[in-house]
C-alpha cells in the first residue's frame, strides 16, 4: 500500500467514528447472522460480511462486498414462578381509613407465573467497497415485527404491584424487541491487518408536557400540551482483526461503548383549586431507560485447518453500570461470557455449523426489595449453509436453530425481625405500612400495621428458568 | 453429511433440550410464616361509625393540632423531641371536595432534650406568616378521606421556590429577614432557662391524610420534613448545628371545629364574636392526648 493510501485508510477509520451502529441487543443475545447464531455467538474473527458490523466491523475489509436478507424469530419460554403468599402480609382494607391502597384493589391479580414475550424480525445488511479494495462500508439493520421505537418500563420493587403486579425479565424480555441500525466501516492498511470503527446510537426521547386539570371532581378530564423531541444517544465501536499463517489463524478485538435508549423529561401540572399555593404548578419528573447496553470488550480467535474452522470468543460486559427501567443503578456485576463454535465444509459450498456457549447472569440473588429476573444461560447452536447458483448469481443460503437453556434459579426474600419502612435508599424487603401507623379515624394504633405489610410481587420468593428457542434463515449475495 | 457428523452436532442439542424441558423450578416456600392480626381496628371503626352520624360541614373556624417528631443527634445518640403545634384555621369548601385552608400558628411547644427545652416565644409564633393550602375531602360522612397537599412553612426567610430552593447559610443572605423584629436575623429561639439564644431560619414541609371522624372532627397521620439552619447564636451549645431528622410516619394531626356551629365546641370565651390565638392557647393541647418522647422511634432502620 502506498503511503498516501495508508493515510487515507486511517482517515477513513477516524471519520467512520461519526457513522455506525445502533441498538444491538438482538444480535448480542443470539449472534449476528445465521453463521454466528449457529455457532452460539462464536466466530467473530471469521465474519467478513455485513453481519460483521456488530461483532467485528474490521472483518468486513477481509471479505467481498455483498447483500444479505434474513428473518429470525424466537419463542421465549423464560418463565418466572411466584411463591404463594403467606397470610397476614397484605395491605389491610379498612375502608376510608386505609392508610394505603388495600391489596385487593390491584388492577392485575398477582399470577403464579409470568412469561417473557417472544421476538421476531427481519435483518437486512450490505457492504460496499466503493471501488477500493482495502475499504468497506456497511449497514446492518434489525427491524422487529412488533414495531419500531417501542419503550417499555417496569419497577423492580414493590411499586410494580400497582401495574403489572408481576416480575418481568430484566434483560431478555421486552428489551429484545428493539430495532437496530448499524453502520460501520473498515480498512485494511496491510494484507494481514484490518481496523474498523463506528458508532452505535439509540433513540433518546425528551418530553415535557404541560397539563391542566380543570376539575378536582373529574380528574379524567385534562388539557395537555405535549412537547417531545427524539434524538440519539451514541456510543463508539472500535475493532481490529488480523489473519496470519496463510489465513489459518484469525483473531479480532472489539470494544462496544455503553448505550442507552431513554425517555426523560416530565409534566408540569396545574390543578384547579391549588392556585396561589406552592403546588401550583407542580412537576412530575420522568426518567425511563428502556434499553441499556453495557460497555463490552470482545475477543475472538479462530483456527482453520482444511475444511474445518474452530472459533472461541470471550466477551466482558460491564453490567455493574447497568441502569434499570427507572434509571436506578441495579447493583449487577460484570460478567465474562464464553462461546465456542465449529464450521465444517462437507462439500464445495455446503457447510454445517454448531456451537456451545455460556452466558453468566449479572444479577445477584434477589433477597431484598428488588426483583431483577435473569438467569445464567447455556447456548447451543446448529446450522447449515448451502451455496446455489440462480441466474448466474451465486447465492449463499443459511439457516440456524439455537436453544438458550436457562440455569434454574430460586430467590428467597430474607426475613428480618424489624423490616425497614419503604423509603428512598432502602434495599431490604421493606414495610409499606410503618408499625406506628395510627388509624386516622380513631387515632389508635393499628394492629394490622404490626410487622411486615408488603405487596412486593416477589414476596416471599420466586424462581426462574426455562428456555428461548430461536431460528432463522438468511440469503446472501456476494459480488 | 455423515452419520457421525450428525451425531456430533445433535448430542449437545439433545442435552440442552433435556435441560430446558423443565420450566422454572418450584418457587421457594419462603421464610415468612402466616400471621394474623386481631380485629381491634374493625371494632374501633364500627364503634366510631355508631357514635358519629352527623355529616361534616367544612366551612367555618377550626383548631388544628399537629404533633411531629424530631430526632436530634447528641453525642452519637439520637434522642426524640416531640413538637405540639396549635393553629387557628379557616376552612372554605369548593365543589368537588376541594377545601381551602388558611391557618396561623398560635402555640408551639417542644419537649426537652437531655433536660434542655427550646422555647418558641410568642413574638416568634405570632409573626409566622399565615399559610394557605388545599385539602381534598372525599365526602362529609364519617370515614370519608381527608388529604392535604404539601404544606410549606418558612421561618425568617423568603424563598422564590419555597419547596426546593437551598436554604441560606449566612445571615447576610438577602432572603433572610428579621421575622420576630428583635434585631437579629431570622427568628430567635431560646434554649433552657435563657441559657442562650440561637438565630435560625427554618423550612417545614408536611403532608397530612386522615378521615372525617365526626361532624366536628377530622384526624389522621402525616409526614413532615423540617430543616433548620443556625445563622448565629449568643454562644454556648446554641452555636452548634445539631443533626436532626424526622422519623417517617410519626406525625399526627387533628382538626376540631371550635366556632360552636354544627354541635362544635365554642372557644369564643370572651364572647366578642371572634376566635383568637389567646383563646386557642387557653384551650391547650391536652385534649388531643399528646404523647411523650420515645427515643426508640429514633433507632434507624434499613440496610
Contact A428 B136 (CB under 8 A): no
Three cell numbers, residue A38: 449457529
**Banded model confidence at residue B14, pLDDT cuts 50, 70, 90:** low
Question: At A372, is the secondary structure helix, strand, or coil?
Answer: coil
Q: Which has the closest alpha carbon to A250: A185, A300, A297, A196? A: A300
Largest Cα span, chain B? 110
State the complex-level ipTM.
Answer: 0.77
Using alpha carbons only, give the angle A244, A249, A311 rounded to the nearest 5 degrees: 155
The predicted model gives A417-425 an average pLDDT of 90
Sorted by sequence, the CB contacts under 8 Å of residue A387 that are 6+ apart come out as A348, A349, A350, A394, A395, A396, A397
Q: Which has the closest alpha carbon to B217: B260, B264, B267? A: B264
Three cell numbers, residue A458: 416477589
Give me the phi and psi of A96, to 5 degrees please.
Answer: -65, -15
The predicted model gives A400-413 an average pLDDT of 96
Alpha-carbon span A23 to A334, nearest angstrom: 20
Burial A324-358 (b: 16+ CB within 10 A, else e): bbebeebbbeebebbbbbbbbeeeeeebbbbbbbe
A53 contacts A139 by C-beta, under 8 angstroms:
yes
**Banded model confidence at residue B48, pLDDT cuts 50, 70, 90:** very low
Cα-Cα-Cα-Cα dihedral sign, residues A318, A160, A91, A440: positive
A450 contacts A437 by C-beta, under 8 angstroms:
no
- The nearest CA of chain A is from the CA of B99 a distance in Å of 8
pLDDT tens digits for range A276-291: 777 789 899 999 998 8
The predicted model gives B213-229 an average pLDDT of 90
Return mean pLDDT, chain B.
Answer: 83
Using the predicted structure, report yes or no on whether residue A187 has a pLDDT greater than 60.
yes
Q: Which has the closest alpha carbon to A142: A171, A182, A174? A: A182
Residues 16-75 of A with CB under 8 A from B: none
B189 contacts B156 by C-beta, under 8 angstroms:
no
B284: alpha, beta or left? (left if phi > 0; alpha if psi -120 to 50): left
Using the predicted structure, report yes or no on whether residue B68 has a pLDDT greater than 70.
yes
pLDDT tens digits for range A432-454: 998 887 765 566 678 888 899 99
Contact B24 A83 (CB under 8 A): no
Q: List the single range of A106-110, A241-245, A465-469, B15-19 with lowest mean pLDDT.
A: B15-19
**Residue B9's pLDDT is what?**
52
pTM: 0.66
**Which residues in chain A have Cβ-Cβ distances shorter than 8 Å to B301?**
418-421, 426
B51 contacts B60 by C-beta, under 8 angstroms:
no
**Banded model confidence at residue B145, pLDDT cuts 50, 70, 90:** confident
**Which residues in chain B have Cβ-Cβ distances shorter than 8 Å to A452?**
32
**Residue B98's pLDDT is what?**
86
The predicted model gives A25-52 an average pLDDT of 93
Most confident of A13-27, A455-469, B140-154: A455-469
Looking at chain A, the whole-number percentage of residues with pLDDT higher than 70 is: 92
Cα-Cα-Cα-Cα dihedral sign, residues B117, B118, B123, B125: negative
Residues 4-33 of B with CB under 8 A from A: 5, 8-10, 12-13, 15-17, 19-20, 22-33
**Residue A277's pLDDT is what?**
74
Using the predicted structure, report yes or no on whether residue A1 has a pLDDT greater than 70.
no
Contact A461 B28 (CB under 8 A): yes
Bridge partners (DSSP) listed for residue B102: B90, B132
**Residue A309's pLDDT is what?**
97
pLDDT tens digits for range A363-399: 999 999 999 999 999 999 999 999 999 988 889 999 9
Amino acid at each position: 500500500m502506498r503511503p498516501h493510501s495508508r493515510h487515507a485508510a486511517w482517515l477513513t477509520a477516524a471519520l467512520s467514528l461519526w457513522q455506525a451502529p445502533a441498538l444491538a441487543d438482538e444480535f448480542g443475545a443470539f449472534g449476528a447472522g445465521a453463521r454466528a447464531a449457529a455457532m452460539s455467538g462464536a466466530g467473530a474473527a471469521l465474519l467478513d460480511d455485513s453481519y460483521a458490523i456488530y461483532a467485528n466491523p474490521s472483518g468486513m475489509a477481509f471479505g467481498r462486498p455483498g447483500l444479505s436478507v434474513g428473518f429470525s424469530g424466537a419463542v421465549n419460554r423464560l418463565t418466572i414462578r411466584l411463591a404463594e403468599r403467606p397470610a397476614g402480609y397484605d395491605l389491610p382494607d379498612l375502608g376510608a381509613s386505609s392508610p394505603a391502597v388495600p391489596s385487593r384493589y390491584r388492577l392485575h391479580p398477582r399470577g403464579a407465573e409470568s412469561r417473557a414475550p417472544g421476538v421476531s424480525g427481519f435483518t437486512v445488511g450490505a457492504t460496499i467497497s466503493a471501488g477500493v479494495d482495502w475499504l468497506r462500508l456497511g449497514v446492518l439493520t434489525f427491524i422487529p415485527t412488533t414495531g419500531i421505537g417501542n419503550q417499555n418500563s417496569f419497577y423492580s420493587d414493590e411499586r410494580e404491584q400497582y401495574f403489572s403486579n408481576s416480575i418481568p425479565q430484566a434483560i431478555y424480555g421486552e428489551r429484545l424487541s428493539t430495532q437496530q441500525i448499524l453502520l460501520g466501516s473498515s480498512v485494511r492498511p496491510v494484507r494481514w491487518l484490518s481496523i474498523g470503527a463506528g458508532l452505535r446510537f439509540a433513540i433518546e426521547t425528551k418530553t415535557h408536557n404541560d397539563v391542566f386539570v380543570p376539575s378536582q371532581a373529574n380528574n379524567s378530564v385534562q388539557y395537555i400540551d405535549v412537547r417531545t423531541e427524539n434524538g440519539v444517544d451514541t456510543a463508539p465501536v472500535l475493532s481490529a482483526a488480523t489473519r496470519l499463517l496463510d489465513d489459518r489463524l484469525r483473531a479480532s478485538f472489539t470494544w462496544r461503548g455503553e448505550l442507552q435508549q431513554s425517555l426523560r423529561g416530565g409534566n408540569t401540572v396545574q390543578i384547579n383549586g391549588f392556585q396561589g399555593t406552592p403546588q401550583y404548578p407542580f412537576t412530575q419528573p420522568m426518567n425511563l431507560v428502556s434499553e441499556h447496553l453495557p460497555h463490552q470488550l470482545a475477543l475472538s480467535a479462530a483456527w482453520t485447518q482444511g475444511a474445518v474452522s474452530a472459533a472461541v470468543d470471550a466477551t466482558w460486559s460491564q453490567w455493574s453500570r447497568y441502569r434499570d427501567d427507572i434509571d436506578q443503578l441495579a447493583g449487577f456485576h460484570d460478567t465474562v461470557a464464553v462461546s465456542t463454535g465449529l464450521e465444517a465444509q462437507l462439500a464445495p459450498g455446503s457447510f454445517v455449523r454448531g456451537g456451545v456457549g455460556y452466558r453468566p447472569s449479572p444479577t445477584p440473588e434477589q433477597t431484598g426489595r428488588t426483583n431483577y429476573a435473569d438467569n445464567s444461560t447455556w447456548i447451543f447452536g446448529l446450522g447449515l449453509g448451502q451455496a446455489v447458483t440462480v441466474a448466474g448469481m451465486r447465492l449463499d443460503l443459511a439457516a440456524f436453530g439455537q436453544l438458550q437453556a436457562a440455569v434454574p434459579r430460586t430467590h428467597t426474600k430474607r426475613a428480618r425481625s424489624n423490616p425497614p419502612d419503604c423509603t428512598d435508599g432502602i434495599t431490604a424487603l421493606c414495610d409499606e405500612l410503618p408499625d406506628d401507623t395510627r388509624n386516622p379515624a380513631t387515632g389508635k394504633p393499628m394492629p394490622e400495621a404490626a410487622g411486615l405489610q408488603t405487596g412486593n410481587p416477589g414476596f416471599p420468593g420466586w424462581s426462574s428458568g426455562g428456555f428461548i428457542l430461536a431460528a432463522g434463515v438468511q440469503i446472501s449475495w456476494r459480488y | 453429511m455423515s452419520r457421525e457428523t450428525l451425531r456430533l452436532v445433535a448430542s449437545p442439542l439433545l442435552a440442552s433440550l433435556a435441560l430446558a424441558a423443565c420450566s422454572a423450578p418450584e418457587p421457594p416456600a419462603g421464610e415468612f410464616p402466616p400471621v394474623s392480626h386481631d380485629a381491634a381496628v374493625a371494632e374501633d371503626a364500627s364503634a366510631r361509625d355508631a357514635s358519629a352520624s352527623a355529616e361534616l360541614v367544612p366551612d367555618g373556624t377550626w383548631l388544628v393540632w399537629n404533633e411531629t417528631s424530631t430526632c436530634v443527634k447528641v453525642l452519637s445518640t439520637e434522642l426524640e423531641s416531640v413538637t405540639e403545634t396549635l393553629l387557628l384555621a379557616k376552612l372554605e369548601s369548593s365543589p368537588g371536595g376541594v377545601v381551602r385552608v388558611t391557618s396561623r400558628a398560635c402555640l408551639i411547644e417542644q419537649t426537652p432534650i437531655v433536660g434542655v427545652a427550646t422555647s418558641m416565644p410568642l413574638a416568634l409564633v405570632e409573626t409566622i406568616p399565615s399559610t394557605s393550602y388545599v385539602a381534598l375531602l372525599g365526602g362529609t360522612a364519617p370515614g370519608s378521606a381527608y388529604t392535604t397537599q404539601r404544606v410549606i412553612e418558612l421561618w425568617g426567610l423568603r424563598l422564590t421556590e419555597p419547596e426546593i430552593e437551598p436554604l441560606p447559610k449566612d445571615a447576610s443572605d438577602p432572603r433572610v429577614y428579621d421575622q420576630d423584629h428583635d434585631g437579629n436575623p431570622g427568628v430567635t429561639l431560646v434554649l433552657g432557662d435563657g441559657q442562650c439564644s440561637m438565630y435560625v431560619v427554618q423550612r417545614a414541609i408536611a403532608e397530612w391524610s386522615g378521615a372525617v371522624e365526626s361532624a366536628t372532627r377530622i384526624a389522621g397521620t402525616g409526614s413532615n420534613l423540617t430543616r433548620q439552619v443556625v445563622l448565629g447564636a449568643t454562644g454556648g451549645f446554641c452555636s452548634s448545628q445539631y443533626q436532626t431528622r424526622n422519623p417517617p410516619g410519626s406525625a399526627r394531626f387533628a382538626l376540631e371545629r371550635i366556632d360552636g356551629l354544627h354541635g362544635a365546641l365554642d372557644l369564643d370565651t370572651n364572647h366578642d364574636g371572634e376566635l383568637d390565638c389567646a383563646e386557642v392557647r387557653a384551650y391547650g393541647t391536652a385534649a388531643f392526648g399528646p404523647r411523650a418522647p420515645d427515643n426508640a422511634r429514633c433507632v434507624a432502620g434499613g440496610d
